[in-house]
Every structure is written in structure tokens, then in C-alpha cells.
Structure 1
Amino acid sequence: MFEIQHQQFKSARYWFSRRTQIDMSPPYQRKGDLWKIADRQSLIDTMINGYDMPKLYLADFTTLKSELNVAGMRYAVIDGKQRLQAIFEFLNNDLPLSENFRLEENPDLKLAGLYFRDVSEIAFEYAERVEEFPMPIVHVVTDEAAKIRELFLRLNKGIVLTGPEKRNAMIGDVPQVIGELAGHDFFEQSTSYKDTRGENLNNAAKILAFELNNEPTETKRVNLDRVVMDFAADEKTLEVAKLGALQALDKMAVVFGKKDRLLRSAGSIPAFYWFIRSIEVERLRMVRPFLETLLAEIDGRSMPLVIEQLEIVEYKAALRNINDRTSHISRVAILKASFLRWLDIVGKS
């Protein structure tokens, strides 16, 4: 079933009171907090000064029992997440008006920098404009994941989505598996690079591609998109690859600490992953000190002991094309050879 329902618009206050019943992070959604504070404040400015806003779309589970309702809530955001978050933040007194805010019909009324509670006390009628703003929300009643993902992509066609964001909305079971891997403790706790536009999803997709091919492979956008399409209906192969990836990510979580400074580059993750995947459990505690030593030698901060000079040149060259198959293979081979030297040096071989 797939039905678009243009119901009577309800107020921002109505939706604010029901915010706990809105799943803001369904599988196909982009990450939250992508809007800068100025963007969020601009939306509130729009509402107070009487301008319109584009339609928002919610999956409505109030009349249809659907397996898509994974969070068990009444609604799920399809499009308009950033706008909803901005409105909820303002009404919850977490977001002030811009310091440059100007009430167009009464420029002498100074509301700039004020929170909702302050505006309510000084000029209730303008705070009420936000509360009573008729939210242009369209209800989507469906139990078809493919239809929601297609709608999301069509609504965002004029917006520059990242590769991970588009891939996350593609049809099939692969996006869900990528999402599960990206939610692993390793990504949530150990990595220290910024995950603002789907970097964790991108690395999870690369890792899954390695597992599905049983070797490092090309991880350019077109290759990852092809993986999503090729294995869309291959549940058995996908499940085996997922379990293998989860086990290897468990090892990664053991090796690295919280917000580990060795993981400040998202591009380092796939090669580290394939290297650590083959390490015996009893040697995992040796991996981080080894990597710290190795990276210092590669960066020229210490004399090369575990890596040869030619390998340093090769490793740096591989970093210039981090998504090439040869780059992954070269870096993993150097990591493995250097680790054996490290074990020999510390007497643990």
C-alpha cells in the first residue's frame, strides 16, 4: 500500500507536543544536526515574519500496521527532519533567535537573541506565530520500504546528497546491513573523525564490500552503489558477510580506545579493518602500540624500525588514491609485513 494524504495542517505546537512519537532517524534518513545554527534561526525568522515554508513528509503509522515502523512510534520523518528539529529546539528554549533578527512589521521591537520563553513574555503574539504556525505536513501511509526510499530520493532530487545518503535510500536489504554496521560500537565510540555527512555509513559500506568480495576491492562511489544493487536480494550471502563484519568490528573495538586519535582519518578505516580482521585474538593488544609506532615512522617522527624506507614511499603513494583496490591491497600488505617485524622486535613472535 502507498497513499499520499494531504490532511488539514496542524500547528507547530500540536507536533511539538507529539515529538516523542516521531521517529526522527528511520533507516533512509540523513543524519541530524546538519543545519548550522544560522540555518535553524533563519527558519524561525521565516515563521515569525509570516513567510511560508515547503511541505514536510511523515510516514503515518496510525492507521496501518507496518513492518517499517521499527521504532514503534506513530510517525517517522521522510523529509523535513532539519526543519522539525529547528522548530522543536526553539519551542523547547534550546535555540534563540538570531542576533540579527529583525521583525519586519515592527523593527523597533527588539527580539534579537531571545529564546521562545523571552519572546512569549515580551510579545506573546509573535511567539504565538511559531506555536500556531500551520505545519505543511503531508502524511504518507505505506508498508512498502521501496516506495518511501523512492519518495525520499525524489523529494531531495534538487539537493546535493552525499554518496552514503543516496546509497542509504536505495532499494533492497543492503542499506539496512550497512546501517547496522555503522551503528557498531567501534564507529560510535572509537573513531574520532567527524561523521556529519555519512562518513560512518560510507566506511561501513566499504567494509561490507570487502566481506562480500572476500578481499579488498574498489570502494569508489560507483562500486559501492553496484554492491547495493548486486546483493539487494541475496539474503544468505549478505547475512554471512554481515556476521563476518560484525566479528571483525568487535576486534577493532578492542584495539582502539574512545575517540582514538589514530582514527582521525576516515580513509584509514578500511585498510586497518582488513589488517586487524586477520589478527589472532591473543595478539590484539599488541596492535595499537604497533600502529602508533608505524604511523610515527611513516610521518617521519621517528626512525624507521618496523617499516622499510621503500614501504614508506609506497604507503604514502597509496594514500593518494585511497579508494583504489591497489591502494587497499598495498597498505594492508605493508601493515602485515610491518606487524611481523614489530612482533620480532618486541619478542612476541
Structure 2
Amino acid sequence: MKMSKKTLPIATICAWKPRIDPTPDYQRPPAWSRKQKQLLIDSILREYDIPKMYWRSVERDDGVRYEVIDGQQRLRTIWEYQAGEYGLPRDTDPIQGIAVGGKKYADLDMDISTVFDSYAVDVVIIDDAVQTDEEDEVRDMFLRLQNGTTLKAQEKRNAMPGQMRDFAKEIAGHAFFENCKFSNSRFTYDQVASQMICIEMAGGPASVRDSDLNRIYRENTTFDTSGKTGKKVRRVLDYLLRAFPEKTPELERYNAISLYCLVSTLIGGYAHIGTEADLAKWFIAFETDRRANDRLEEEDRDPALVEYKRLTSYSTDAEESIRSRLEFLEKLFFSAYPDIELKDSIRTFSFEQRLAIFRRGLGHCQIKTHCTGEKLSWGEWHADHIIPYSHGGKTTVTNGQIGCPSCNLAKSNTID
């Protein structure tokens, strides 16, 4: 990784704005307050030193030539002031005897605006990193440069190298999160997505504190995003999106985690196809009742709902809290919908069952969606559940039929 130093006037940095990406994916979102921004501009106008910036040289199709590794907040502050988005505090002391209090860039005396335009910023340029190990070096540099700043835990994880970080970033982009009450301020979606992944990897409720998430990021740098866990996480979130296709104010962070656990259980062990609307109706009714319970006099409240609220208010990331919330919701949901069936504990047809199905069907495809009943040899066919396993179909000879590979794959989990 090669580095070189440039000294650029602010006028040039502003002119280059279309070519600079201040927030590559490992960067945190803008976080400075107006007071912090005003202090930086005051320092520049008084020609005090400010820390150097670190940019990465890139060649991107969108015309961007630099990605900011360190200095994003300072860079945005400079651009915003030059664009007239805010002024200095009204009580700012004069500079060189010239009043600057309350003034935006366009209002500055020409001598003062010249100081701003010509102020020299030191920028360290890192050559484009193409290899994976060099990419990791850039992320490591970002973390080192942020040491001592107020980065939140997920902002630090977002800069970690490895497949787990990439998978969490992918899951955080799932459309379900846009329908939740909470926003993506400072990578909140990434935080919740990481917690869901952690729970799925554990096979059920688990501690999802920052130390736990840091561990799975460190220990799963080669995580298989197309493996069993990755597929299950996507299936659960796809289900949740079908259940809640619109913005749902009841979907707070703790509820998103609780519902993830409930749906993961539902998909894993029950005939869940077509249950999305039932789950959404039940959950919204439950939240309505719970909130109404909060408004009652203390002696009139349902103790079970009071305890549930306690679990959502303290140590919400602890395994005990998540497990207790799940058990409570499972009891209510399956009581409301007692006809939802458990899946057969055996999913795969045995050799004897396959043989009986094959002989009964005379070796011909019985699905007939992509063929007209093709004659198949023993090694060329699939044993298909007539009523799909995900709908509660049993793994029995009676519920089995012959399918050619094309017809069976096209049928998927639909019912003829």
C-alpha cells in the first residue's frame, strides 16, 4: 500500500467535490453537530492547523477518483459552509479586526473569504487497493485513524474485513428494515441484521451484545453467504416482508428481533406457507392490547404483559430476555392459530418408500408441468411430496409421487 502527500487549497477541494466519495461503505454517516462544524470553520479562518485527511485513490465508473478513509466530517463541514448551509455563531470574535459573527461564506469580507479559499489542507493519498489483503489494510487503517473518537460499536464492525461483515451489510439492505419504526441512523440496520445472524448461527435465542457480535465478525471472516445459515436468514426476512409490506410503527427494534425468532421457529418446524397475514394480524392486535394495558391503573394491569414490557425495557440484548420474549409470543401465537401443523420430523423418503412410489407410478413423471409424463429410469427421478413438506405434507408413500427433475424444480413448494 503506497502513500503520498498532497497539500490542497480548500478552493480545489470544493471544486473536486463531484470526484470525492466521503462515505464509502466502511465509513460512518455524518455525525457532527452544527457547533462542531462552526468551530472547525472558525479554526480555518484563523489559520489554525487542522488534522490531515486520508483519501484512497480509486477508478470508479461514476467518475469518483477518491474515497475518504479519514476526514469525512471535516470535508463535509467545509463543503457545507462553502455552499452557504450555515453561518458562524453570532458571538464569534472578529478576525483581523473584521466582523464575522453570524456570517455565511457568501457574506464574508473578501479578505476573509480569501483566507478560507486558500487555506492549505494536508491530504495523504493511498494508492488504489485491488487485492483483498490490501482492501483489508484500508479498513484496518480506517479503524486505527478513528481510535479515540466516538465511533459506535457497529460503526467499528462495519469497517472490519471479512465475509461476515459483507453478509451483514447485504442483510441490512433488505427491504423489511425500511418498514420498521427505527431508522438506519449510524448503521442501526446493520446492528439489528448482525443480531439476527448471530441468533440464527446459534440455532435460537442467544446473547447479541456488542461483544458477541464482535466475536462472530472476527471468527467468521470466511463465512459462506450462500450456506444454510445465510439462506435461512434471507428466508425469514422475506417472510417478514410479506407479512409487513408497509411501514409498521409497531416494529421497534426489540420487536424485530422477537419476530425474527418467532418466524425462524415457524419456518423451521411448522407448515408455515400462507401464514404471513395471520402473523401480522395477530402481532398488531397483540401490540394494541399491550399498549392499552400500559394505560390502565397499576392494579388493573395484566401481570404477564407487565413482565413482557420489562423484558423489552432492560437487557434486551441478553439471551434470557430474548428467550423469554420468544416463549411468551410463541404461546400466544400458537394459541391463536392452533391449526398450524408441525412438519413431519422425517423429510427425506427412505429407499423402500422411493421404490414403492416408483413402482406405483410405473416410472412415469406424475407432475407433468414441463413434460407429458416422461418415462424415467431409476436414477433420473425425484421423489416429490404431493402436499409440499413446507405446507405440512407428510413423508409417506401416499403423499409421494414421481417427478422428472424439470417438473419437480418448477413445482417447488406449490400445491397442484
Q: TM-score range by the shorter chain?
A: 0.7 to 0.9
User: Offset at 1:198?
Assistant: 2.8
Q: 1:290 to 1:35 in 2, by over 3 A?
A: same
Q: 1:13 to 1:258 in 2, by over 3 A?
A: farther
Report what 2:117 is aligned to: 131
Report what 2:2 is aligned to: 3
Q: 1:170 to 1:332 in 2, by over 3 A?
A: same
Post-superposition CA distance 1:208-260 (Å, at most 9, x none):
112333323210111111111121113x3565433432332233334346553
Report what 2:280 is aligned to: 288
Report what 2:200 is aligned to: 211
State the one-letter code of the partner of 1:83: R
- Paired with 2:239 and 2:17, the residues of 1 have a C-alpha distance of 38
Report what 2:211 is aligned to: 222
Give the SS at the match of 2:275: helix
Give the SS at the match of 1:261: coil
Report what 2:380 is aligned to: none
Say whether residues 1:150 and 2:140 are aligned partners.
yes
Report what 1:322 is aligned to: 316
Give the SS at the match of 1:297: helix
Give the SS at the match of 2:68: strand
TM-score, length-normalised on structure 2? 0.70
Report what 1:267 is aligned to: 254
Structure of greater relative contact order (alpha carbons < 8 Å, 6+ residues apart): 1
State the one-letter code of the partner of 1:316: K
1:26 to 6, 13, 24: 24
Post-superposition CA distance 1:49-71 (Å, at most 9, x none):
22111011111125xxxxxx697
State the one-letter code of the partner of 1:16: C
Q: 1:191 to 1:49 in 2, by over 3 A?
A: farther
Say whether residues 1:92 and 2:83 are aligned partners.
yes
- Paired with 2:46 and 2:227, the residues of 1 have a C-alpha distance of 52
| C-alpha contact (below 8 Å) 2:105/2:113 kept by paired residues | yes
- Paired with 2:58 and 2:308, the residues of 1 have a C-alpha distance of 52
Pairwise mapping of residues 52-201 of structure 1 onto structure 2 (< 5 A)? 52-61=49-58, 73-106=64-97, 109=99, 111-119=100-108, 123-141=109-127, 142-143=129-130, 144-187=134-177, 189-201=178-190
Say whether residues 1:340 and 2:334 are aligned partners.
yes
Give the SS at the match of 1:335: helix
CA RMSD, 1 decimal: 2.7
Give the SS at the match of 2:55: strand
Give the SS at the match of 2:24: coil
Report what 1:66 is aligned to: none
Report what 1:16 is aligned to: 14
Q: In percent, how many aligned pairs have the same letter?
A: 23
Unaligned runs of at least 5 residues, structure 2: 340-416
User: Offset at 1:309?
Assistant: 4.8
Q: 1:148 to 1:16 in 2, by over 3 A?
A: same
Larger Rg: 2
Say whether residues 1:249 and 2:243 are aligned partners.
no
| C-alpha contact (below 8 Å) 1:199/1:266 kept by paired residues | no
Give the SS at the match of 1:139: strand
Report what 2:356 is aligned to: none
User: Offset at 1:194?
Assistant: 4.6
State the one-letter code of the partner of 2:123: I
The structure with the greater share of residues assigned to helix is: 1
- Paired with 2:62 and 2:160, the residues of 1 have a C-alpha distance of 20
User: Offset at 1:183?
Assistant: 2.2
| C-alpha contact (below 8 Å) 2:163/2:225 kept by paired residues | no
Moved more, 153-162 or 191-200: 191-200
- Paired with 2:248 and 2:32, the residues of 1 have a C-alpha distance of 26
| C-alpha contact (below 8 Å) 1:49/1:103 kept by paired residues | no
| C-alpha contact (below 8 Å) 2:167/2:225 kept by paired residues | no
- Paired with 2:329 and 2:3, the residues of 1 have a C-alpha distance of 53
| C-alpha contact (below 8 Å) 1:251/1:281 kept by paired residues | no
